Structure 1
Amino acid sequence: MYIGRENKSCDMEVIKNMRRLSHFMLFSFITLTVSAGQFTGSIKGQVVESDTKAPLPGANVSILNSTLGAAADNQGFFVIADVPAGSYSLQFQFIGYQKVVKTDVIVKSNRVTTVNAELRFAVVEMQGITVTGGYFSETDAQAVSAINFSNEEIRRSAGSHGDVSRIIAVLPSVAPSTDQTNNLVVRGGNPGENAFYVDNIQIPNINHFPTEGSAGGALGILNVDFIEDVDFYAGGFSSAYGDRLSSVMDITFREGSRERLAGQVDLNWAGFGFVGEGPLARQKGAWLFSARKSYLDMVVRAIDVGNSIAPRYGDYQGKIVYDINQNHKLSLLAVWSEDANRADKQTAIENDMVVFMNQDIRQNTTGVNWRALWSVNGYSNTSFAHTMERFDEEAFDTGTEDLLMDNDSRHHLFALRNSNHFRLGPSGFIDFGFDGKLAIAQFHNFYGEQIDPAGQPLPPLRVENKSRATLMGGFFDYSLSPVEKMTIRLGCRVDHSSMNGNVQLAPRSEFLFRLSPLTMLQASAGLYYQQLPIELLSKNKDLAQLKSTRAAHFILGVSHLLTESTKFTCELYR
């Protein structure tokens, strides 16, 4: 059965048109910032222990190459006031812990910049030299195939245009399937094998104009102004992440300002955007909201840019944080997007399109996460979220105007996720938790007569189907350091799918050995499983019996700290 070739062709036409316009749009932009005309701002944040999230009172926070700094209070919070507008590096230190340096901290006039830090134990000392995290501490929890990016690194990355997928695409282990899309191929996998999490909530796709059943699209949805940092795992990721074979992108959104109302308006050739933030009552939390809307269609009508068709898209994002008390916090997350493309035969002829398409695509994920500090030795995160995807698409042959495809699909995903982390003595940790998903999909699809790759005609096909599937999983990890230089992590994950009734057992392990204060040997091995997309399994009842796809990861690497701010890493992957 050959289904969806015309759909893919239409998607590529939409993406090409968007890319042509984006090159034109870069020539000019205007950014308006709503703020007072002062020349100093402030830096605030919280310093906590990485393994337990417990505050580190008295931690020293200083701006490098200056005399400015502060000490954290009893809850780990700090404020550095009257900082001249500019770019800085912020250093965090606490006795017995690895120091952390946060680069590219941007201070704006009359604005509060939030910078949080997590410090780890400094466990190795040799000949008076203390091994410190410095600039590379964020991904020490998983040293194999892991990298961290800050908000400013994403914003200023050449060619990324603030799109987090674009900066990931240039990593050695990653390549886009084409230069027109955000379809990431990680170490030979396919784009549907990548997972995306925002604040402990999984989002199936973080791109506009997505391909149904996959995780790619034309351009990113997430607003870079919301992103605090990104952890990307290109393999060997822990058993806390299931139902994916290739990679995990774990994104943290920042909180809104707890001191004052603030806003920013962005206006450029692509469209209009707004970011607003402010405190909740009695400073028990904060809210953050953004809305962006393109008006490329109006630009195309007003100016000759060599193209007479322009897709329309918009997105809306929000985060509300509420402190129940000093140990319990609720955060509400919403990420919504809408995409539309309209064309007719005349427009298709003007733009040399073999197929023209009408599209109306909507995605939204809304969820809540509860973070609890249970003691000085552990914490947990529990989230519940709902994702809705709607695809209304029609494709026509430009020459004959015959209907090639009519896709009317609805997807609902309900997800519950829990993860717990506890310290067991001075050198041991356990991680455990569970996740459950309920997927409901409804399809009303028509595929016109086509010619398959072998040149044989295929008759028209109509699909009317409603499917339901559950996926349940649990995980357990144990980390210990039997000797000063060595860390061993052993874990296992169990998953069950209602579609095929299979139970998968996925053991995983990681080994770290510090050869010297500056050099570390790293190894990882594990099994990974992924359920086939419900879009495929629902086409035919016999397909539901297909087994989940499987991958085995074997990674061996070495990293060496050339300087405090320069790190060399080499990995072998199979």
Structure 2
Amino acid sequence: MKKITVILVLIVVTTILKAQNFQQTIRGKVLDKETHQPLPGASVILLNSNPIIGVISDADGEYVIKNVPIGRQGITVTFIGYNNSEAKNIMVQTGKESVINIELVEKVENLNEVTVSAVKQKDKALNDMALISSRSFAIEQTERFAGSIGDPARMVGNYAGVAMQNDTRNDIVIRGNSPIGIIWKLDDIEIPNPNHFGSLGTTGGPVSMINNNLLSNSDFYTGAFPSEFSNGISGAFDLRMRSGNNSKTEFIGQVGFNGFELGAEGPFSKNSKASYLISGRYSTLAFMHFIGFGTGTGTAVPYYQDITLKIDLPTKKFGKFSLFGLYGASHIDIGGDKNDTSSNSYNMHGMHTKFSSGLNVIGLTNLYFFNSKTRLKTVLSAQTSGNIISVDLFKVNPEYTQQYFRSNNSQKKISVALHLKSKFNSKNNIGVGCYLDYNIANLLDSIYLQENNRFSTLRNVDGNFLTYRAYTQFQHKFTDDLTAYAGINLFSVSLNNEISIEPRAGIEWKFTPLQTISFGFGMHSQMQPNQIYFLQYNDTINNKYIQTNKKIGLSKADHFVLGYSFLLSTNLKFKFETYYQNLYNIPISHLEKEFSMINAGADFIIPIVDSLQNKGVGKNYGVEFTIEKYLDKGYYFLFTSSIFDSKYKGEDNIWRNTAFNSNYIFNLLAGYEFKIGKKSFMTFDAKTVYSGGKRYIPIDISASNAAEELKYDYTQSYKNKYEDYFRLDLRIGFKINGKKISQEFAIDLQNVTVNKSTFTQGYDANTKEIYSTFQQGFYPMFLYRVQF
């Protein structure tokens, strides 16, 4: 081990001492933001270059700036009749070309008028229809922010209004809503849970399948989102995969939390603009377990692997075709060693669980321009996801094992989507679209009922149904400083023949060059997870199974948001938002009067409750503050705070806290970057979070002892919280540039104060005691990346 350390140090020192004036290329496209048409003749200048280095975009809107010195660089883009745009803090490295696409907004004012340009909001959403509760994020942040470990979901947990429920998973709670209310879109394809070890119907998991090395800047929404988004009442990810380099072949190798990774990209030929992008990853946690580091799962070993592919094929007559594919598989065996009494957040004492999950998505898109103002995007996709689960209960003294739960569930979807967008002029643009989804559910599971001493079938179904969605949205710019948006979404489900019509609207007014006020409203709805619709009730009197949930309707929510932002300087922003959300049509149970589907997602699996009715209600309201210093002169910081309340009513008509009502959360992040010599960089990043504790349902110890199994006191559901949560994460990174290779070393130190925050409580039938499971303890994670 000492020899390896000495060799690594010598490599680093030698690389620094032999540093040359290394350079790289910045390339990309200049596009109209609304139409995505190329803008030939745009001026692209390298900031702070002396003498000035600049180029003009060609007939396809493409530009290439060669011989750019490595390090942080920036470009400014100008074009007649359009607002200027800048891209700053581009990390130029020798191992990979920097591809920066710039979208320009056409000016509304007459060119002869004298106008004062406002300072651009650097986190403004890429989607021009999004005016409030939205922001874009740079993919570099998914690693740069301490504790994010390359995961977009963990990274957005630092934003105002967002909370993480579990250190070992990436489920996110937005404004007190369940994580299952989040919409995931990847390259305009709606996808199910994109996480390893994720359960059907949920949206989180311990390890993301989304490879951040393959993403470009993307959008995140926390409420009142545009009408093109449907089937979600919480928030949305609109992730965009980047295209492979169409002029140069490049490779990447990486070892980190998300896996051992190998990737490649490049053109298919020198004379073609077609490109490919592919990457595969394999479980790092399995290797970490092998060398003696705990994974938070006791003696269990988590195995996972994923492959991501994108092919771009532009044509002259038929537009641009893109083929996208995502494959992921994972499995784990927890609790198989009866002598292992360690606690973890995945399994209870006296329980042996085998869990496997899988996801396959393939999509084909075509982007076709009818003219310079109108484009049509056609999306064809197919996907399948599933779980195989077995759970056994056991006792040590006396020795006893009972099969408890078996499940083999999968769901499939074939989808066709059309998105038409047209720009009438600099003031008006419109978008219309539709989705047709054919859904297939193959569900088979059963559970042991101790009181009847037999297994009961929960679902044994091969079902299918259609969903149809359509939307239209219109944006009008009264001036460059005053913009209004209106849209409507139609959502229809063949299972219950329900049709939901949902208006959306927003307005944004820059009443000074530095200050903006905005308002948004939206009606939103969401289907229940498939397992809920096809749950079977065992009618023992008539000796048959009945699907009592098949006709339940959509859950619905009305979002109202008011926002204000103030650009204190070019790189410093203050933002405030307040909101109220009215939730209704929530499925509840007349048999379990405290139950509501509003709390589904608080556990790893979807609850098993039949005979549901759409009579439940809920409400979320709160205020959020953000102070953000964008990366400039080597440092950044971000402070966010959220103070909120989240309530619901079940069949008993009593207002209760939801499972996600932690009431408050505060985040503080900061980072500093500096050069070592001419070609190397060191980074230091820190994050701290303080929030209210997790709500819980207390265990009824008397009933549990009598039954010799876990029993809850549901009359006290979510009344109390565990102790407040605190965590401090640190990250140290080092980047080295060689002549044609760039390398990065980093270490993430999570929960460096080793703070013990309670995650949940369980019941041990062997000892007849209640025990606590804690959030993740101190956990170091290393990263090594090489690009060439």
Say whether the fold is shared (TM-score over 0.5): yes
Structure-2 separation of matches of 1:300 and 1:526 = 47
1:361-510 superposed matches below 5 A: 361-399=357-395, 400-449=400-449, 460-462=455-457, 463-482=459-478, 485-510=481-506
- Deviation of 1:366 (Å): 0.7
Superposition pairs of residues 225-264 of structure 1, within 5 angstroms:
225-264=213-252
SS of the residue 2:65 aligns to: strand
Cα deviation, residue 544, structure 1:
1.3
User: Which of residues 263, 272, 288 is equivalent to 2:277?
Assistant: 288
TM-score with structure 1 length normalisation?
0.88
Contact 2:252 2:264 in 1 (8 A): yes
- Encode CA deviations 1:268-301: one digit per residue, 9 max, x unaligned: 5774210111112332310000000015334424
Q: Does 1:158 align with 2:146?
A: yes
Amino acid at match of 1:296: L
Match of 2:24 in 1: 41
Counterpart CA distance in 1 for 2:285 and 2:564 is 47
Question: Do residues 536 (structure 1) and 532 (structure 2) align?
Answer: yes
Q: Is the 8 A contact 1:63 1:89 kept in 2?
A: yes
Aligned mates of 2:204, 2:122 — CA distance in 1: 31
Q: What secondary structure sits across from 2:548 in the alignment?
A: helix
Counterpart-to-counterpart distance in 2, 1:80 and 1:448? 67
Instruction: State whether structure 2 residue 97 is matched by structure 1 residue 112.
Output: yes
* SS in structure 1 at match of 2:391: strand
Q: Compared with structure 1, are the counterparts of its residues 63 and 544 closer, same or farther at alpha carbon in structure 2 (3 Å cutoff)? A: same
CA offset digits 1:53-110 (Å, max 9, x no partner): 1111121222322233322112110001112222222322223322222233222215
8 Å Cα contact 2:435-2:470 kept in structure 1: yes
Determine the C-alpha separation between the residues in 2 that align with 1:269 and 1:246.
Answer: 28
> Structure 2-normalised TM-score?
0.65
Q: Of the candidates 131, 154, 158, which is equivalent to residue 118 of structure 2? A: 131
- Counterpart CA distance in 2 for 1:406 and 1:390 is 14
Q: Provide the secondary structure at the position in 1 that maps to 2:370.
A: strand
Structure 1 residues 87 and 325, CA gap change in structure 2 (3 angstroms): same
Q: Distance in 1 between matches of 2:515 and 2:311?
A: 42
Aligned 8 A contact 2:461 2:534 in 1: yes
Distance (whole Å) between structure 1 residues aligned to residue 123 and residue 317 of structure 2 = 29
C-alpha change, 1:164 and 1:361, in structure 2 (3 Å) is same
Could you tell me which of 299, 319, 336 is aligned with 1:308? 299
Q: Indicate whether 1:527 and 2:512 are aligned.
A: no
CA–CA separation in structure 2 for the residues paired with 1:292 and 1:221: 9
Find the counterpart in structure 1 of residue 609 from structure 2: none
> What's the offset of the Cα at 1:457?
8.1
CA distance in 2, matches of 1:338, 1:358: 14
Structure label with greater radius of gyration: 2
Amino acid at match of 1:461: S
Task: Please identify, of 346-355 and 99-108, the stretch whose mean Cα deviation from structure 2 is larger.
Answer: 346-355
Moved more, 113-122 or 350-359: 350-359
Contact residue 48 and residue 54 of structure 1 kept, 8 A: yes
User: Does structure 2 conserve the Cα–Cα contact (< 8 Å) formed by 1:99 and 1:132?
Assistant: no
Give me the whole-angstrom Cα distance separating, in 1, the residues matched to 2:95 and 2:522: 49
The one-letter code matched in structure 1 to 2:324 is: L
Q: Could you report, residue by residue, the CA deviation over 1:302-360 in whole angstroms, capped at 9, with x for unpaired residues?
A: 43648432211111101000002277101111111110112453266253551221122
1:437 Cα deviation from its structure 2 partner: 1.0
1:567 aligns to 2:573 (yes or no): yes
Q: Is the 8 A contact 1:221 1:315 kept in 2?
A: yes
Query: Post-superposition shift, 1:381?
Result: 1.6
Native 8 Å contact 1:186 1:234 kept in 2: yes
* Structure 2: distance between partners of 1:342 and 1:526: 43
Task: Assess if the C-alpha contact under 8 Å between 1:286 and 1:320 holds in 2.
Answer: yes
1:40 offset after TM fit, Å?
1.9
- Are the aligned partners of 1:104 and 1:153 in contact in 2 as well (CA < 8 Å)? no
Q: What amino acid is aligned across from residue 120 of structure 2 in structure 1?
A: G
The DSSP-based 3-state class of the residue aligned with 1:361 is strand
Q: After the TM superposition, which of the residue ranges 40-49 and 423-432 deviates more from structure 2?
A: 423-432
Q: 2:36 aligns with which of 44, 53, 65?
A: 53
Q: 1:345 aligns with which of 319, 327, 336?
A: 336
CA–CA distance in structure 1, aligned partners of residues 257 and 189 of structure 2: 32
Q: Could you say which residue in structure 1 is the equivalent of 2:70? A: 85
CA contact (8 A) 1:101 1:134 kept: no
Bigger mean CA deviation after superposition, 482-491 or 385-394: 482-491
Moved more, 343-352 or 211-220: 343-352
Please give the alpha-carbon distance, in whole angstroms, between the structure 2 residues aligned to 1:483 and 1:173: 31
Q: 1-side partners of 2:88 and 2:480: how far apart?
A: 29
Q: After the TM superposition, which of the residue ranges 177-186 and 551-560 deviates more from structure 2?
A: 177-186
Taking the aligned partners of 2:452 and 2:365, their CA distance within structure 1 comes to: 51
The question of whether the paired residues in 2 share the 8 Å contact of 1:124 and 1:130 is answered with no
Could you tell me how far 1:495 is from its partner in structure 2?
Answer: 1.4
Question: Which residue is 1:73 aligned to?
Answer: 58
Per the alignment, do residues 347 and 65 of structure 1 end up closer, same or farther by CA in structure 2, a change over 3 Å counting?
farther
Tell me if the contact between 1:98 and 1:132 (Cα under 8 Å) persists in the aligned partners. Answer: no
Distance across 1 between alignment mates of 2:518 and 2:195: 33
CA separation of 1:241/1:305 partners in 2, compared to 1, >3 Å: closer, same or farther?
A: closer
Report the residue type matching 1:351 in the other structure. S
Report the alpha carbon displacement of residue 543 of structure 1 after superposing the two structures with TM: 0.7
**Aligned equivalent of 1:24:** none
1:266 to 229, 254, 275: 254
Task: Provide the rounded CA distance (Å) in 2 between the counterparts of 1:458 and 1:196.
Answer: 41
Work out whether residues 24 and 66 of structure 2, in 8 Å CA contact, stay in contact via their aligned partners in 1: yes
Alignment of 1:25-40 (within 5 A): 39-40=22-23
Identity of aligned residues (%): 23
- Give the Cα separation in 2 of the matches to 1:65 and 1:71: 18
Alignment-derived partner of residue 21 in structure 1: none
Mapped contact 2:482–2:508 kept (Cα < 8 A): yes
When residues 492 and 128 of structure 1 are mapped into structure 2, their CA distance, relative to the original with a 3 A threshold, is closer
SS in 1 for 2:205: coil
Query: Which letter does structure 2 place at the counterpart of 1:349?
Result: D
Counterpart contact for 2:148–2:155, Cα < 8 Å: yes
- Structure 1 residues 141, 124: CA separation in 2 closer, same or farther (over 3 Å shift)? farther
Q: Which of 173, 192, 206 matches 1:185?
A: 173
In the alignment of these two chains, the number of paired residues is 537
Mark the CA change 1:344 to 1:480 in structure 2 (over 3 Å): closer, same or farther: closer
Q: Which residue of the partner structure matches residue 335 of structure 1?
A: 326
Q: Which residue of 2 aligns with 1:213?
A: 201
Q: Which whole-Å CA distance do the structure 1 matches of 2:534 and 2:114 have between them? A: 63
Following TM superposition, by how much is the alpha carbon of 1:44 offset from its aligned partner in structure 2, in angstroms?
0.7
* 1:166 match: secondary structure: helix
- Is contact 1:198–1:252 with CA below 8 Å preserved after alignment? yes
Q: Is the 8 A contact 2:207 2:258 kept in 1?
A: no
Letter paired with 2:85: V
1: CA distance between counterparts of 2:455 and 2:164? 33
Secondary structure of 1:406's counterpart equals strand
Cα RMSD over matched residues? 2.5
CA shift for structure 1 position 208? 1.2
